[in-house]
Amino acid sequence: MTDPIDTSYVTTLTDDEMLDILRQVQSGELSVEQAERLLGATHHGHEDQAPSDTGLAGQTFSAPLGKTANGKLVFERGAAGLYLHGEALSGQLFTARFERHVPVVRVNGGTVTVRYRDFGFGLLNWLRYGFNPPQSEMTLNADIPWQLDIHSGIAQSCLDLRSIRLRKLTIHNGVSDVKLILGEPNDIVRLDCHGGVHNLIVLRPAPVAVQLTVHGGATSLGLDNQKLGAIGGITTLETANIKTALCRYVINVHGGANNFKVGAL
């Protein structure tokens, strides 16, 4: 059994409001300190949680594969500076190395849970490090299928999942400056982003069918040769083979999108 998660730090801001704060910091409209105050970080004790010295030199993690048939990777408090990919690891479920800020990593069966001690308000906490987020690399065993669940957002990261048999990807609380590289799906694979996206590039093999739906409006949205400027409401783009493809990606974004492109490798 894993330990219960302390949710006392969670702010009352909506996903859209959190993403908007990130955009304002990136554009210079807000300082990092102003963003932290808006997030209510000073009211939950996280200003006292300085990064520990033990995390400065980095640390590696791994776990044996055993009889695990399915994997699940969970980031409980966001991810930034992450390079994630897959390989045929001999007898290992995963390997990982975290630089500068070392999280708690728990393994329960096939579920790998990563929880940063000092990422108390998720996606935006890395802003205090001057847009130089902690660097981390994770390798998942490509011999088993995986589900990915990222809470509190993801920023400045590359998820190279070409070798991964992806079952599902869910991101909560926003995406900013991320590249997602996908392989051939072997089923209908859902990719759900809650809290909006900003500067997201998704690449997949050219013949793979895609259905893309954005809820909440979009600016600079594209699927292959289909390109849209500023639009409102709900927008759906599809590849021509979507109706006949048995295996495809279904991408849903809730909270709007800015500069979101889906293309071919």
Parse the chain into domains and list their residue ranges.
Answer: 49-182, 185-265
Q: How many CB atoms lie within 10 A of CB 57?
A: 9
pLDDT tens string, the chain, 265 residues long: the values are 333 333 333 345 565 566 666 667 767 787 766 776 676 543 333 333 333 333 345 799 999 999 999 999 999 988 888 999 999 999 999 999 998 778 899 999 999 999 987 544 444 555 554 456 668 999 999 999 999 999 988 988 999 999 999 999 999 988 989 999 999 999 999 999 999 999 999 999 999 999 999 999 999 999 999 999 999 999 999 999 999 999 999 999 999 999 999 999 9
* Alpha-helical runs (H) found in the chain: 15-27, 32-39
Q: What pLDDT, on the 0 to 100 scale, is given for residue 56? A: 43
19 phi/psi in degrees, rounded to 5: -65, -35
Pull the structure tokens for residue 185.
């799906």
Q: What pLDDT, on the 0 to 100 scale, is given for residue 47? A: 30
E strand intervals along 162-247: 165-171, 175-182, 188-194, 197-204, 209-215, 218-223, 226-231, 234-238
8 phi/psi in degrees, rounded to 5: -70, -15
Q: What pLDDT, on the 0 to 100 scale, is given for residue 118? A: 57
Q: What pLDDT, on the 0 to 100 scale, is given for residue 101? A: 78
Q: What pLDDT, on the 0 to 100 scale, is given for residue 43? A: 35
Q: What pLDDT, on the 0 to 100 scale, is given for residue 130? A: 47
Q: What pLDDT, on the 0 to 100 scale, is given for residue 23? A: 67
Q: What pLDDT, on the 0 to 100 scale, is given for residue 245? A: 97
Which pTM does this prediction carry? 0.79
